[in-house]
Structure 1
Amino acid sequence: MPKKEESREKPKKKKGFFSSTFFIILLFLITAAVVAINRYDRKHRDEIHVTVDKNLVKETVKDEEVQNKISIFVYDSDTKTISEREITVPRQINLIEGDFINGIIRNSNYITEDMKFRSAYNLRIDNVNTTVVKLNAAFANLKKNPELFNGFSQAVTNTILKNFPNIQSVIIQIDGETNNQ
């Protein structure tokens, strides 16, 4: 009798409990961690923990001490001339027209404390880039002295035109009145 060939197939190994459910256990642990973190965040959502780098604070203080130097024109009522001056203003990201006008007001000896700069804005009037400068009603008293008002107006105009090259005209308004320069 011929010998039967015995099939020698290897039986398949059954995977163990842990190896077959490893993926499910991993997903369960991740879900539990997410739920725990969510609950922790809900309990502590009103708290903000901030850590300040001491070196960063020192650099900020140094930057605040730096001043910007700007050039303005000021009318001198004694000599009746307009002269250019360099003044310092607190450091800012952008210098605007008001910084220059306030510098003129502070450096003009004929301006009283009640005279205040209100605002400045840029318009395009008849295809001309124009800055409109608004001053409070106290400047009406300055307008009574044409020499002083014209000197002040010319100082403002020269300052704006020099420091803002895209501006071609300046209008000064006091309580709705206009004065084209």
Structure 2
Amino acid sequence: MPEKYVIGIDIGGTNLRVALISGRGEVIRKIKEPSRVNVLESLQRAVESLFSDDVKGIGIGVAGLVDRKEGVVLCSPNLHDVEGVKFKESLGKQFPVPVLVENDANAAAFGEKWIGAGKEFNSFVLLTLGTGIGSGIIYKGMLADFAAEIGHMSINADGEKCPCGN
């Protein structure tokens, strides 16, 4: 039986990372490019270069509030270019596999629970530190159905404005 793969995508404030990953979680091949160019176009090219009949799904992690059902980023304080982009619909038309769009910190927490530092723990919080700050929560062995957007809190109401306007 041939090995099955997935394509994992991390859309960050600085870089777009795309990887072909085995069913055991091993990175087989990866691509990295700046994310400040046409993200959807770059993403489609990268996925096309990794795609084969053995790929069974595509997962996208992106900072911000995500509509999972529609596969759209509703709000991303540090990545305004991805807001409203129909990732699920666009990639679903091009590649005949399920496409999942998730908050990046939630995706990272899920990955740590599956094959990383969190696999031995029933509940934990994962922090992401990059262009922004985020967190994902695993509670009682399951991904909590909310992103703990700790990097998007007002500390000082009269302080510096966030890129989102708050």
Select the structure that is richer in helix: 1
TM bucket normalised to smaller: under 0.3
The structure with the largest alpha-carbon Rg is 1
Select the structure that is richer in strand: 2
| TM-score under structure 1 length normalisation | 0.23
